[in-house]
């Protein structure tokens, strides 16, 4: 039965972890996967998470099945975070939110739901996009195309190209947009550019699907989520996937959500019933622990404040590392201006290095980034940055 099964290629991001783990070199640096490490190279366990876990342990609860759509207090907290607790969509009950297995799970629930709703719809992702976007939506049955996004020559956004791509899209096309901290390039739209995108999406009758995996890593929680308000103000229906993997440093707990903004409360109830079918037929219902932690933190004013503070510290340290990287590369003898690294935002820097250079970095120096030239600057620290700068200088 399985004799004809072919060996699949390694995952372009998570596959690097396996290679990194097997690398015996003591000075190896993993800038492949999007994970934040502190200045000691350790994965943080946030204080707010520890306090929430303590509170949960003080009242031990049995582990029954959760409702198909997850913990109600969690779903409500996500709605408030994404749209604003006092916002009209939340107050009028026209948002359907389900707990999901990470941001990826939120995307997949949305993909399966949309595919059933509009089997013939096309889907566009940015060029380039997170490697798993294409794979995930292709697996869900979509024909995946791209809209222009990155301008390699100018090191920035090809905004005119992006608008032109969206203007050329057929009505009903699903457009996957990065709400903030674009992965992999680190280049985001300005609020004024978002306004233009929203106008085109509306005029062309496209379906916006926002991936919000890095809320809080750009400029702040409110600032990074502001684009959602623009879509709401335009009166558009939309889907938003949320991830707490990064912002709570809860990678392994797989805590995410999908929110669908509908035209009315009645519509939201019907959409929710369909999302529940997608969940039930895939994994029945979500796991308890991670969602419970996030619900406790987001619903407790003190813990929430602590979370925002801790998230702010991560954001500031990443920005500092970007500056150190630019200075370090110059000191290591890189002649070209690498200042663009500080203009990028979020966890990643799209370095502009070729696949060949990335393979050399990995093979000769034990510095791991993706083949496409993406490096996770959130994994840089004062101990490894010198080695990284010297290694990059040696290959450029």
Q: Which of 79, 108, 115, 246 is catalytic?
A: 246
Asked whether position 130 contacts ligand LMR by CB under 6 A, the answer is yes
When CB distances to ligand LMR are compared, the closest residue is 34
Nearer to ligand LMR, 115 or 254 (CB): 254
Which stretches of the chain are assigned E, i.e. beta strand? 29-30, 95-101, 123-127, 144-148, 150-151, 156-157, 174-178, 207-212, 238-243, 255-261, 348-350, 367-368, 374-376
Nearer to ligand LMR, 70 or 186 (CB): 186
Asked whether position 247 contacts ligand LMR by CB under 6 A, the answer is no
Asked whether position 132 contacts ligand LMR by CB under 6 A, the answer is yes
Query: What DSSP designation does 253 have?
Result: G
- Spatial CA neighbour of 34 closest among 285, 349, 389, 254: 349
Query: What is the closest distance, in whole angstroms, from the C-beta atom of residue 255 to ligand LMR in the complex?
Result: 13
Q: What is the C-alpha separation between 8 and 18, in angstroms, rounded?
A: 15
Query: What is the closest distance, in whole angstroms, from the C-beta atom of residue 110 to ligand LMR in the complex?
Result: 16
CA dist list (Å): 317 to 27, 30, 128, 339, 389: 21, 17, 26, 17, 18
Asked whether position 183 contacts ligand LMR by CB under 6 A, the answer is yes
Asked whether position 288 contacts ligand LMR by CB under 6 A, the answer is no
Nearer to ligand LMR, 14 or 85 (CB): 14
194 is catalytic: no
Query: What is the closest distance, in whole angstroms, from the C-beta atom of residue 13 to ligand LMR in the complex?
Result: 4
Query: What is the closest distance, in whole angstroms, from the C-beta atom of residue 11 to ligand LMR in the complex?
Result: 8
Contacts of 72 (CB under 8 A, 6+ apart): none
Output the CA torsion sign for 69, 72, 78, 82: positive
| Region 255-284 residues binding ligand LMR, contact defined as CB under 6 A | none
Asked whether position 13 contacts ligand LMR by CB under 6 A, the answer is yes
Nearer to ligand LMR, 89 or 256 (CB): 256
Query: What is the closest distance, in whole angstroms, from the C-beta atom of residue 231 to ligand LMR in the complex?
Result: 23
Structure tokens at 165: 């791509």
Asked whether position 186 contacts ligand LMR by CB under 6 A, the answer is no
| Residue 307, burial from CB neighbour count under 10 angstroms (0-12, 13-18, 19+) | buried
Nearer to ligand LMR, 243 or 288 (CB): 243
DSSP letter string, 77-110: HHHHHHH-TTSHHHHTT-EEEEEEEHHHHHHHHH
Q: What is the C-alpha separation between 340 and 336, in angstroms, rounded?
A: 11
Q: Which of 79, 211, 224, 307 is catalytic?
A: 211
Nearer to ligand LMR, 94 or 134 (CB): 134
Q: What is the C-alpha separation between 310 and 328, in angstroms, rounded?
A: 26
Output the CA torsion sign for 378, 184, 77, 81: positive
Structure tokens at 128: 């380039």
Asked whether position 185 contacts ligand LMR by CB under 6 A, the answer is no
237 is catalytic: no
Per-residue contact track with ligand LMR, 22 to 61, x per CB under 6 A? Answer: -----------xx---------------------------
Q: Which of 130, 188, 194, 224 is catalytic?
A: 130
Active site members: 130, 211, 246
Binding footprint of ligand LMR on the chain (CB under 6 A): 13-14, 33-34, 130, 132, 183
């Amino acid at each position: 039965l399985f004799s004809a099964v072919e060996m699949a290629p390694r995952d372009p991001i998570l596959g690097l972890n396996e290679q990194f783990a097997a690398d015996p070199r003591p000075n190896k640096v993993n800038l492949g996967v999007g994970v934040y490490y502190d200045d000691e190279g350790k994965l943080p366990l946030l204080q707010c998470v520890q306090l929430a876990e303590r509170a949960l342990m003080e009242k031990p609860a049995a582990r029954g099945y959760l409702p198909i759509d997850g913990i109600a207090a969690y779903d409500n907290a996500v709605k408030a975070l994404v749209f604003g607790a006092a916002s009209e969509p939340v107050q009028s009950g026209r948002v359907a939110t389900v707990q999901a297995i990470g941001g990826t799970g939120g995307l997949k629930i949305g993909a399966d739901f949309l595919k059933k709703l509009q089997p013939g719809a096309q889907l566009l992702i940015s060029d380039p996009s997170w490697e798993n976007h294409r794979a995930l939506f292709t697996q869900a049955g979509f024909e995946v195309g791209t809209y222009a996004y990155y301008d390699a020559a100018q090191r920035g956004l090809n905004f005119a190209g992006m608008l032109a791509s969206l203007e050329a899209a057929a009505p009903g096309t699903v457009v996957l947009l990065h709400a903030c901290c674009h992965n992999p390039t680190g280049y985001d739209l300005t609020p004024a550019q978002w306004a233009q995108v929203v106008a085109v999406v509306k005029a062309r009758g496209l379906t916006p699907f926002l991936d919000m995996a890095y809320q809080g890593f750009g400029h702040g929680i409110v600032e990074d989520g502001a684009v959602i308000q623009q879509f709401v103000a335009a009166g558009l229906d939309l889907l938003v996937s949320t991830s707490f993997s990064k912002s709570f440093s809860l990678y392994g707990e797989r805590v995410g959500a999908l929110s669908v903004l509908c035209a009315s409360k009645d519509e939201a109830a019907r959409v929710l019933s369909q999302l529940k079918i997608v969940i039930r037929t895939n994994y029945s219902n979500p796991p308890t622990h991670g969602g419970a932690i996030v619900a406790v933190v987001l619903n407790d004013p003190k813990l929430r404040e602590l979370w925002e503070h801790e998230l702010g510290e991560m954001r500031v340290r990443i920005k500092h590392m970007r500056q150190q990287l630019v200075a370090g590369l110059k000191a290591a003898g890189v002649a070209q201006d690498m200042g663009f690294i500080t203009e990028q935002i979020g966890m990643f820097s799209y370095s502009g290095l070729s696949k060949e250079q990335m393979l050399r970095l990995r093979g000769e120096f034990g510095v791991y980034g993706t083949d496409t030239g993406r490096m996770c600057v959130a994994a840089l620290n004062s101990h490894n940055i010198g080695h990284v700068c010297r290694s990059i200088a040696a290959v450029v």
